């Protein structure tokens, strides 16, 4: 039996119906057509489906749709403002921190969350914070450069 | 806006990102699995739980009774409507055995995970539920899982009708190996065991087939590296004319060879769409994706060496466990491993015996490096063994035996024609990048404090752009350049991008040839109804032949536009100057017209100023690299490669002798891919490939139990490097232009896997040398390194604070 869920996605109120065992990534992609969130492994190992759930990073493949009841969800679709990329996105583009791009939404969401908590992370902090996001194309080197550069850009913009 | 070209400021050679990147960053890139169509149905495949079994009966009745199920089929049902899947690369071309590859198994299964039945339903949940209700009655057979055991007398043959399990044996021989071994001071033997890897792109395979009722044709949205050749395969499998099939390979989320075709699901999903008259989608699960492996092989190497380090001769017998026969081209990797011996070394007397063996493991598909990485792993581990036995530096041994930079073009003993290179120079640059001398000092002082630091070097030759006669692995490709009446450019090319950035690289070339802003160029790839017939992405070929053909087409179109500009301005064509989108003339300072105005005139004034051309402003050209030679030479050899990219690697690791954990501290690579079109994209390719090599050397491993059931089923088991595992990578370019190709291009993309894996293994062995530990069996996981240390002849003396 379908269950009614009331939530907010990227600061917009959203209600949807889902089955009790539907994962949140399936609800986002198939019911709400928010296909920016990717499913890479379905076991919480790759981080492609990373979202922010009530302020915390989560793998949306490990969250049930019904668990979103009363919570706020942030997805990749809410990161850029109309007309402008977020500093993390721009920096990933400039530093070629993405290749095929399928892990990129998860990395953007996770990296933005890092920089919201820590404006000046060390390289090691970036490496460990983003260790939950697998990328098979880049060898990570340019992602790390991009996130460190984005942190610097944001600090300079704030000062 | 990207910078406009003016004067000497060209796009080629610059690190820019314009043709891909923005859409994935905002979650708007459309990958195959993001497509959903009205009336979308979903397929779920029933797979064999046995490595080898006879299928007695497949009962679909419990599945078809489930409401929402539209169709359920077993092997015999599908075989009645399809023909066997043609091989991407026929083993028979190389004297190998043939097998019939079916979409679903009939009578027998040959490996764990082989498709046996399929269920189509209105939603995925129903399809999965119904698939679980399919009853298959099997009689398990003895599974043959080890390659050498598969060749033993009395081993069960896995394919009915074959007389043994040897898919193919190819000798690669040159010179007089017996004399070389007799005259050498020493013979150094090395056994190298390379385990089963899997490429595991972050996007699994997905096929969404749409039956087009109006034209009675199929449109397949699919994760394919090679849409045009796949179209021919589907035509033959489905018994349909090729012109009734369209393939759209949308944005692809990484491929690395895994999305080359021959997979049973490709034709199967199309058939299901045809039978139901509705779109049918199949999305591979990660567990299914992990079935596809590569490069499990054992090398028995002997090197005949003199005491000064000169290698006189090479013998290598190797056995590749290519798994069950399939239509995918994975087995060809083993052939390439033999063909590219002895790599960068000037060894003339060789005796290399390649054995590709069929077993009851799931089959290989192509994997980045396509066998050349295994050549590098085998040779580079053996070279370090030579250095250890002779008591000389591993660097010295390599420098002693490299082909010299003034010896190109170089005829290899297997008939390849290496175009160019400076191997010693690349090694030198790498050692500088890693501060080799400082590393040696650091290592010595660390050993005094009980820390085990190792330094590893390796070299890798990666011929790129391969072409095999009589197959759809061809050396050329084709592009079309179309300039519209508004001066904007549509570039269509037969090469595809699985996310490598070649669209940007090719657009850079076209922007320079046409003299236009790169933002005025749109690149279209991967749609068989739009692109010229092309062969897609493999073998590091895309920029060589995609870029080369696009350059030729752009030159043709530029000539047309120049002619119209000269007619409009009433000046000699030779006096024209095109800068920032405006034509002027050195002969008439008042003459000026924009590029867009000229293009408009080319379309609209066909009876006066544009009489000098044939509109439209379009050209289609093919680039066929001239150095490929398919006519056999006196020894019967061909040269299937137009470019011989290469790279040198060095790494520093620390081994925790109490746990066996290997930590990489430093990594440097020097890469020669000829002229670099876009440094940042080449670096991205190299770093990504190095990630494959490091993961493969240390943690990635697809494992089976004794009965051939796969144990590695998720990313919990298949352990790929994470950001916290990877060292910083210093990338140097050392570009020796290829004299035969446009702009001096060589391929990029494959170098990195084998050389980095070998450097890591050599570093670990170097770290553990004081203990007498030598490990030439990959991967060097912590438990295996720890076990080797336990068995060492010398007990470790860990440092005080560990």
Q: Average pLDDT for residues B47-67, to the nearest whole number?
A: 98
Contact B253/A102, CB-based, under 8 Å?
yes
**In this complex, is the C-beta atom of B123 within 8 Å of any C-beta atom belonging to chain A?**
no
Please work out, in degrees rounded to the nearest 5, the angle formed at the alpha carbon of residue A88 by the alpha carbons of A86 and A93.
100
B90-101: per-residue pLDDT in tens?
A: 999 899 999 999
Can you tell me the mean pLDDT for B127-141? 98
Q: What is the pLDDT of residue B742?
A: 87
What's the mean pLDDT in B748-765? 96
In this structure, is the dihedral angle defined by the CA atoms of residues B767, B770, B776 and B779, taken in order, positive or negative? Answer: negative
Q: Which runs of E-coded beta strand occur in B18-176?
A: 41-47, 53-59, 69-74, 108-109, 115-121, 135-140, 166-174
Contact status of B27 with chain A (Cβ, < 8 Å): yes
- Supply the pLDDT for residue B8: 53
CB pairs under 8 A between A and B: 176
d(CA B551, CA B478): 10
- Owner of token pair 């010299």: B404
How many angstroms separate the CA atoms of B175 and B172, rounded?
11
A26-62 per-position pLDDT tens digit? 999 999 999 999 999 999 999 999 999 999 999 999 9
Query: Which two three-digit tokens encode residue B742?
Result: 């446009």
Nearest CB neighbour to A85, from listed B25, B688, B724:
B25
Contacts of A77 in chain B (CB under 8 A): 26-27
- As a whole number, the mean pLDDT across chain B is 95
Strand positions, DSSP E, chain A = 3-9, 12-18, 50-53, 56-59, 72-74
Q: Give counts: helices (H), strands (E), chain A.
A: 5, 5
Q: What is the dihedral of CA B782, B787, B788, B793, to 10 degrees?
A: 140
- For B635-690, how does the pLDDT look when each residue is reduced to its tens digit (9 = 90+)? 888 999 999 999 999 999 999 999 999 999 999 999 999 999 999 999 999 999 99
CA distance to partner chain A, nearest, from residue B21 (Å): 6
Task: Say whether pLDDT at B719 is over 70.
Answer: yes
- Cis peptide bond N-terminal to B342, omega within 30: yes
| B552 contacts B621 by C-beta, under 8 angstroms | yes
Mean pLDDT calculated for residue range B691-718:
97
Nearest to B26 among A42, A76, A137 (CB): A76
- Give contacts of A50 with chain B, Cβ < 8 Å: none
Give residues 276 to 305 of B whose Cβ lies within 8 Å of A: 285-286
Q: Is the pLDDT assigned to residue B5 strictly greater than 70?
A: no
Instruction: State whether A93 and B25 contact (CB < 8 Å).
Output: yes
pLDDT at B800 > cutoff 70:
no
Interface contact flag, A140 B201, Cβ < 8 Å: no
- Whether the predicted pLDDT of B802 surpasses 70: no
Q: Are strands B245-248 and B217-222 parallel, antiparallel or unpaired?
A: parallel
Inform me whether the C-beta atom of residue B663 falls under 8 Å from chain A C-beta atoms.
no
pLDDT for A82: 86
Q: What is the mean pLDDT of residues B114-134?
A: 98
Q: What is the pLDDT of residue B762?
A: 98
For residue B53, how many other CB atoms are within 10 A of its CB?
23
State which residue of chain B sits closest to A134, comparing Cα positions: B722
pLDDT band at B799 (very low <50, low <70, confident <90, very high): low
Q: Which residues of B touch A98 (CB under 8 A)?
A: 21, 24-25
Q: Which residues of B touch A123 (CB under 8 A)?
A: 728
Determine, for residues B715 and A43 on separate chains, whether the beta-carbon distance falls below 8 Å: yes
CB contact under 8 A, A46 and B728: no
Residue matched to tokens 């449109």: B219
The pLDDT tens digits of the residues spanning B548-600 come to 999 999 999 999 999 999 999 999 999 999 999 999 999 999 999 999 999 99
3-state helix vs strand vs coil in chain B, percent to 5: 30, 25, 45
Per the CB < 8 Å rule, is A38 touching B203?
Answer: yes
On chain A, the residues whose CB falls within 8 A of the CB of B252 are 100
Higher pLDDT among residues B766 and B4, named by residue = B766
Residue B134 has pLDDT above 80, yes or no: yes
Q: How confident is the model at residue B2 (pLDDT cuts 50, 70, 90)?
A: very low
Q: What DSSP element (H or E) covers B23? A: helix B22-25
Pick from A46, A98, A134: which is nearest to B21 by CB?
A98
Q: Which helix (H) or strand (E) holds B264?
A: helix B264-276
Span of B439-448, B458-467, B727-736, B789-798 with lowest mean pLDDT: B789-798
- Given A30, A92, A144, which is nearest B723 (Cβ)? A144
Option in B34, B501, B690 nearest A35 (CB): B34
Residue of B24, B503, B721 best to disrupt the A interface, most CBs of A under 10 A? B24
If you measure CA to CA, which chain A residue comes closest to B678? A96
Mutate to test the interface with A, among B122, B255, B722 (most CBs of A within 10 A): B722
Q: What is each CA distance from B778 to B144, B157, B693, B701, B758, in whole angstroms?
A: 22, 28, 11, 9, 10
The residue that leads in pLDDT, B793 or A112, is A112
Is pLDDT at B634 greater than 90 in this prediction? no
- Beta partners for residue B523, in sequence order: B491
The minimum CA-CA distance between A42 and chain B, rounded to whole Å, is 8
pLDDT of residue B147: 98
Q: Which of B691, B692, B714 sits opposite A41 (nearest CB)?
A: B714
Q: Is B691 on the interface with A (CB under 8 A)?
A: yes
Chain B residues with CB under 8 Å of A42 CB are 285-286
Alpha carbon distance B327, B83 (integer Å): 13
Burial of A31 (0-12, 13-18, 19+ CB in 10 A): middle
The strand order across the sheet containing B53-59 reads B108-109, B53-59, B135-140
The arithmetic mean of pLDDT across residues A126-134, rounded, is 98
Give the model's confidence band at B4: pLDDT under 50 very low, under 70 low, under 90 confident, else very high: very low
Instruction: With cut-offs at 50, 70 and 90, classify the pLDDT of residue B795.
Output: confident
Selected for mutation to probe chain A from B202, B691, B693, B729 (highest A CB count within 10 Å) is B202
**Cβ-contact A23, A63 below 8 angstroms:** yes
Percent of chain B with pLDDT over 70: 98
Q: Are strands B311-323 and B349-358 parallel, antiparallel or unpaired?
A: parallel
pLDDT (0 to 100) of residue B30: 96
Chain A residues with CB-CB distance to B20 below 8 A: 101
Question: Could you give the angle at the alpha carbon of B153 between the alpha carbons of B149 and B157, nearest 5°?
Answer: 70
CB contact under 8 A, B253 and A100: yes
Q: Is B7 a residue whose pLDDT tops 70?
A: no
β-pairing verdict for B521-525 and B489-493 = parallel
Residue B715 and residue A41: Cβ atoms within 8 Å?
A: yes
Q: How far is B503 from chain A (nearest CA, A)?
A: 12
Read off the pLDDT of residues A93-114 as tens digits, 9 standing for 90 and up. 999 999 999 999 999 999 999 9
Classify burial at B756, counting beta carbons within 10 Å of its beta carbon; exposed 0-12, middle 13-18, buried 19 or more: buried
Judge: B724–A40 Cβ closer than 8 Å, yes or no.
Answer: no
Between residues 581 and 640 of chain B, which touch chain A (CB distance below 8 Å)? none
Q: Is the pLDDT of residue B176 over 50?
A: yes
Does residue A159 register a pLDDT over 90?
no
Residues 236-255 of B with CB under 8 A from A: 251-254
Residue of B nearest to A75 (CA): B27
B156 touches chain A (CB under 8 A): no
CB B687 to CB A80 under 8 A? no
Which two tokens mark A98? 């993405």
- Mutation site, B3, B15, B17, B26, interface A, largest A CB count within 10 A: B26
- Residue B654 CA to residue B656 CA, distance in Å, equals 6
Partner-chain contact A46 B723, CB within 8 Å: no
Q: Given A37, A75, A101, which is nearest B499 (Cβ)?
A: A101
B29 touches A: beta carbon within 8 Å:
yes
Q: Could A48 and B23 be called an inter-chain contact, meaning their C-beta atoms sit closer than 8 Å?
A: no
Terminal CA-to-CA distance of chain B, rounded, Å?
A: 54
pLDDT reading at B778 higher than 90: yes
Closest CA to A122 of B392, B173, B728, B253: B728
Q: What is the DSSP letter of B710?
A: B
Residue closest to B85 by CA, chosen among B262, B208, B223? B262
Enumerate domains of chain A plus CATH numbers: 3-78 (3.10.20.30), 87-158 (1.10.150.120)
Task: Check: CB of residue B752 under 8 Å from CB of residue B689.
Answer: yes
In this complex, which of B15, B252, B729 lies closest to A141 when CB atoms are compared? B729
Q: How high is the pLDDT of residue A6? A: 98
pLDDT at B317 over 80: yes
pLDDT at B9: 62
For residues B711 and B702, give the distance between their C-alpha atoms in angstroms, rounded to a whole number.
Answer: 7
User: Using a CB-CB distance cutoff of 8 angstroms, which residues of chain A are in contact with residue B727?
Assistant: none
**What domains does chain B contain, in order, with CATH numbers?**
22-30+476-623 (3.30.365.10), 371-468+632-791 (3.30.365.10)
For B421-473, what is each residue's pLDDT tens digit? Answer: 999 999 999 999 999 999 999 999 999 999 999 999 999 999 999 999 989 99
Contact B499 A137 (CB under 8 A): yes
């Amino acid at each position: 039996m379908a269950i009614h869920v009331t939530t907010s996605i990227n600061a917009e109120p959203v209600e949807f119906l889902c089955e009790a065992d539907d994962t949140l990534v399936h609800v986002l992609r198939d019911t709400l057509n928010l296909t920016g969130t990717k499913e890479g492994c379905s076991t919480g190992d790759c981080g492609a489906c990373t979202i922010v759930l009530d302020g915390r990073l989560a793998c949306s493949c490990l969250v049930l749709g019904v668990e979103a009841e009363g919570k706020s969800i942030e997805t990749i679709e809410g990161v850029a403002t109309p007309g402008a990329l977020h500093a993390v996105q721009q920096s990933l583009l400039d530093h070629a921190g993405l290749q095929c791009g399928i892990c990129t939404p998860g990395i953007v969401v996770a990296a933005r969350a890092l920089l919201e908590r820590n404006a000046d992370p060390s390289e090691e902090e970036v490496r460990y914070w983003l260790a939950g996001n697998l990328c098979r194309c880049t060898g990570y080197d340019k992602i790390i450069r991009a996130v460190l550069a984005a942190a610097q850009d944001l600090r300079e913009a704030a000062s | 806006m990207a910078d406009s070209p003016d004067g000497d400021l060209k796009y080629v050679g610059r690190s820019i990102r314009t043709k891909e990147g923005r859409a994935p960053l905002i979650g708007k890139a459309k990958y195959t699995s993001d497509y959903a169509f009205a009336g979308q149905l979903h397929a779920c495949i029933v797979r064999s739980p046995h490595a080898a079994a006879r299928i007695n009966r497949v009962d679909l009745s419990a599945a078809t009774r489930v409401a929402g199920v539209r169709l359920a089929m077993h092997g015999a049902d599908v075989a009645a409507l399809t023909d066997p899947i043609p091989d991407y690369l026929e083993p028979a071309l190389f004297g190998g055995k043939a097998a019939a590859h079916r979409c679903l198994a009939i009578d027998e299964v040959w490996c764990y995970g082989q498709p046996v039945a399929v269920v189509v339903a209105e939603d995925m949940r129903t399809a999965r539920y119904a698939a679980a209700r399919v009853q298959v009655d099997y009689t398990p057979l003895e599974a043959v899982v080890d390659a050498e055991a598969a060749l033993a007398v009395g081993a069960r043959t896995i394919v009915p009708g074959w007389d043994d399990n040897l898919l193919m044996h190819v000798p690669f021989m040159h010179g007089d190996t017996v004399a070389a071994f007799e005259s050498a001071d020493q013979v150094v033997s090395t056994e190298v065991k390379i385990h089963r890897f899997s490429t595991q792109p972050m996007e699994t395979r997905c096929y969404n087939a749409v039956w087009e009722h109006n034209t009675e044709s199929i449109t397949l949205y699919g994760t394919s590296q090679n849409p045009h050749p796949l179209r021919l395969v589907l035509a033959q499998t489905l018994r349909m004319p090729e012109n009734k099939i369209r393939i759209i390979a949308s944005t692809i989320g990484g491929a690395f060879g895994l999305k080359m075709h021959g997979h049973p699901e490709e034709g199967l999903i199309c058939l299901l769409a045809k039978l139901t008259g509705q779109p049918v989608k199949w999305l591979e699960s990660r567990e299914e994706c992990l079935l596809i492996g590569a490069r499990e092989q054992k090398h028995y190497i002997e090197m005949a060496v003199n005491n000064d380090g000169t290698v006189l001769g090479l013998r290598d017998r190797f056995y590749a466990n290519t798994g069950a026969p399939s239509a995918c081209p994975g087995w060809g990797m083993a052939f390439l491993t033999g063909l590219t011996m002895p790599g960068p070394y000037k060894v003339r007397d060789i005796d290399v015996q390649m054995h590709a063996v069929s077993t009851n493991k799931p089959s290989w598909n192509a994997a980045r490096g396509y066998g050349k990485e295994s050549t590098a792993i085998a040779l580079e581990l053996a070279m370090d063994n030579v250095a250890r036995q002779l008591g000389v530096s591993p660097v010295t041994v390599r420098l002693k035996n490299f082909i010299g930079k003034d010896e190109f073009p170089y005829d290899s003993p297997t008939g390849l024609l290496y175009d160019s290179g400076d191997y010693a120079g690349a090694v030198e640059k790498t050692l500088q990048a890693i501060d080799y001398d400082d590393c040696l000092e650091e290592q010595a002082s660390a050993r005094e404090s009980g820390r085990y630091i190792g330094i590893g070097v390796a070299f890798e030759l990666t011929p790129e752009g391969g072409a095999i006669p009589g197959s759809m692995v061809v050396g050329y490709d084709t592009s079309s350049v179309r300039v519209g009446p508004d001066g904007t450019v549509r570039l269509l090319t037969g090469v595809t991008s699985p996310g490598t950035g070649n669209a940007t690289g090719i657009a850079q070339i076209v922007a320079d040839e046409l003299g236009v802003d790169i933002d005025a160029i749109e690149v279209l790839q991967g749609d068989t109804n739009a692109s010229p017939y092309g062969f897609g992405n493999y073998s590091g070929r895309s920029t060589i032949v995609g870029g080369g053909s696009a350059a030729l087409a752009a030159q043709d179109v530029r000539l047309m536009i120049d002619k119209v500009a000269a007619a409009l301005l009433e000046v000699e064509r030779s006096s024209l100057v095109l800068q920032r989108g405006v034509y002027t003339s050195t002969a008439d300072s008042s003459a000026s017209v924009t590029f867009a105005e000229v293009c408009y005139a080319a379309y609209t004034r066909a009876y006066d100023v544009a009489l000098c051309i044939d509109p439209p402003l379009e050209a289609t050209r093919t680039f066929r690299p001239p150095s490929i030679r398919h006519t056999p030479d006196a020894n019967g050899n061909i040269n299937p490669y137009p470019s011989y990219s290469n790279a040198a690697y060095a790494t520093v690791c620390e081994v925790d002798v109490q746990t066996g954990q290997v930590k990489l501290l430093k990594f440097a690579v020097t890469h020669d891919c000829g002229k670099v079109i876009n440094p940042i994209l080449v670096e991205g390719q190299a770093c990504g490939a190095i990630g494959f090599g490091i993961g493969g050397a240390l943690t990635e491993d697809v494992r089976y139990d004794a009965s051939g059931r796969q144990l590695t089923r998720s990313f919990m088991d298949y352990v790929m490097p994470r950001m916290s595992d990877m060292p910083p990578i210093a990338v140097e370019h050392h570009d020796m232009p290829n004299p035969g190709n446009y702009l001096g291009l060589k391929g990029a993309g494959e170098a990195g896997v084998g050389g980095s894996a070998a450097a890591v293994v050599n570093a670990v062995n170097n770290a553990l040398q004081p203990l007498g530990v030598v490990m030439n069996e990959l991967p060097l996981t912590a438990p295996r390194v720890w076990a080797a240390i336990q068995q060492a002849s010398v007990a470790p003396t860990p440092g005080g604070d560990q």
